[in-house]
Amino acid sequence: MKEEVERLSRAAILSEGELAALDFDALLAFWQSELGAKIRAQQARHVHRELPFTARMSRADLEALNLSVNAALADDEFVVVQGFADLAVILPEEVWLVDFKTDHVDSGELAAVVKFYEPQLKLYALALGRIYRRPVTESWLHFLSLKESVAVAW
């Protein structure tokens, strides 16, 4: 691991500040986990990190995800949603989505934190499903501090 950090620093891929902010043990734990192995087993061309997206969402879309909607938004108007998917595996027939969370979470509060982040992940899943015209069949929130992935059904 130390060699990789030195390589990133020498190649100026990451700044010293960025390197200091990374929790390499937590990242390594993710990639060595069952989920990380499942993703590593895919062809590299299917795995996308920090994937930008823009999608159009209707009032009904947002309400279906239990997101608050401005009361002034008419039924025939829309909202443009932009974001970055932390990690998306875009396969020929389906999409998988992983959202990394850097919160320092205690295991006792995990369920509440998952519930808090679920709407965001579901919004991203809806957007990617529409953009790539295939269903998001699996999605996870991965909490780096706990080294734990939680599947989120939608």
94-109 pLDDT, tens digit per residue, is 999 999 999 888 989 9
Residue 151 has pLDDT above 60, yes or no: yes
- Residues sharing a CB contact under 8 Å with residue 14, sequence separation 6 or more, in sequence order: 8, 22
User: Does the CA dihedral 43-24-22-121 come out positive or negative?
Assistant: positive
C-alpha distances in Å from residue 71, one per residue of 20, 63, 104: 44, 11, 34
Q: What are phi and psi of 101, to 5 degrees?
A: -120, 130
The whole-model pTM stands at 0.84
Q: Tens digits of per-residue pLDDT, 50-80?
A: 999 999 999 999 988 888 888 888 888 999 9
With beta carbons less than 8 A apart as the criterion, state whether 61 and 129 touch: no
Where residue 4 falls (left for φ over 0; alpha for ψ -120 to 50; beta otherwise) is alpha
- Return phi, psi of residue 98, to 5°: -125, 130
What domains are defined for the chain? 23-151 (3.90.320.10)
